[in-house]
């Protein structure tokens, strides 16, 4: 089933892309071109900012995908505030909690000791926030790459595997802070790459080809069943 949060796929294409394209293979190629074109400028901009903020995450997404989506740089709270979004078994953060999750990741991710010890936990919170309707993986990989470099290391993404990474990320999202993704990433930690190699390192990360399982709209966030699921998930995450 096509991800259609706006309900106008037939008239405006996938996620209202600027080309009004409905063929997802073509959309993914457009996304990749936009991402590849904007990644160097995105890294350059982030390098100029002393302390990253939530707005910088939004601006990074805009730089990476503004050639494809008119809403690039706008989060789910802005453009889909009443929709519950999931991917497979994972229910992403309630729209009003997106910033809280990302702010947690940015706060601790800019503590060099914390970031060096728990890069998987930081990635998990960025992924759980899932700020955007599309382009999350590539955006948070760019942000995470900068946080890692500033903490004195880089992840050798080229030697990871997509299936294993996504499996451990799912565990991390379900039970944050238990070391699932930290343990997986530890063997791939390397000396920090230089600025000119950051983009090449991130591009090699698994799951950034746009061919992963699509997001799904589960319904309205005010539906009793979904409210209960959000509450159960948050309770589980806080207790784990």
- CATH at residue 199: 1.10.3290.10
The pLDDT of residue 240 is above 70 = no
Indicate whether 109 belongs to any domain: yes
Name the pTM for this structure: 0.94
- The SS3 assignment for 83 reads strand
Q: Give CA–CA dist 35/228, Å, rounded.
A: 37
Tell me what the mean pLDDT of segment 49-53 comes to: 98
Indicate whether 186 belongs to any domain: yes
Tell me what the mean pLDDT of segment 147-168 comes to: 95
Indicate whether 173 belongs to any domain: yes
Supply the pLDDT for residue 211: 59
Closest CA to 184 of 204, 169, 202: 169
- The SS3 assignment for 168 reads helix
* Token pair for 167: 């499996």
- The phi and psi torsions of 219 (rounded to 5 degrees) equal 145, -165
- The SS3 assignment for 153 reads strand
**Residue ranges making up the domain that contains 144:** 76-239
Indicate the number of domains in the chain. 1
Supply the pLDDT for residue 209: 64
Name the pLDDT band for 239 (thresholds 50, 70, 90).
low
The number of CA neighbours under 13 Å toward the Cβ of 105 is: 31
């Amino acid at each position: 089933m096509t991800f259609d949060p706006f309900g106008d796929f037939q008239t405006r294409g996938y996620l209202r892309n600027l080309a009004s394209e409905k063929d997802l293979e073509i959309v993914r190629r457009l996304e990749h071109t936009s991402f590849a074109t904007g990644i160097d400028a995105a890294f350059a901009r982030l390098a100029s900012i002393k302390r990253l903020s939530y707005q910088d995450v939004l601006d990074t997404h805009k730089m990476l995908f503004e050639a494809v989506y008119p809403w690039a740089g706008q989060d789910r709270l802005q453009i889909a505030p009443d929709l519950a979004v999931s991917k497979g078994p994972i229910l992403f953060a309630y729209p009003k909690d997106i910033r809280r999750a990302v702010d947690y990741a940015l706060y601790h991710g800019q503590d060099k000791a914390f970031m060096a010890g728990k890069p998987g936990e930081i990635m998990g919170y960025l992924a759980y926030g899932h700020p955007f309707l599309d382009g999350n993986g590539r955006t948070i990989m760019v942000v995470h790459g900068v946080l890692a470099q500033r903490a004195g290391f880089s992840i050798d993404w080229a030697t990871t595997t997509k299936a294993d990474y996504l499996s451990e990320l799912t565990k991390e999202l379900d039970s944050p802070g238990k070391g699932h993704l930290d343990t997986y990433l530890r063997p791939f930690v390397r000396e920090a790459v230089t600025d000119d190699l950051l983009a090449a390192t991130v591009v090699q990360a698994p799951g950034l080809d746009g061919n992963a399982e699509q997001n799904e709209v589960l319904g309205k966030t005010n539906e009793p069943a979904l409210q209960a699921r959000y509450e159960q998930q948050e309770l589980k995450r806080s207790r784990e």
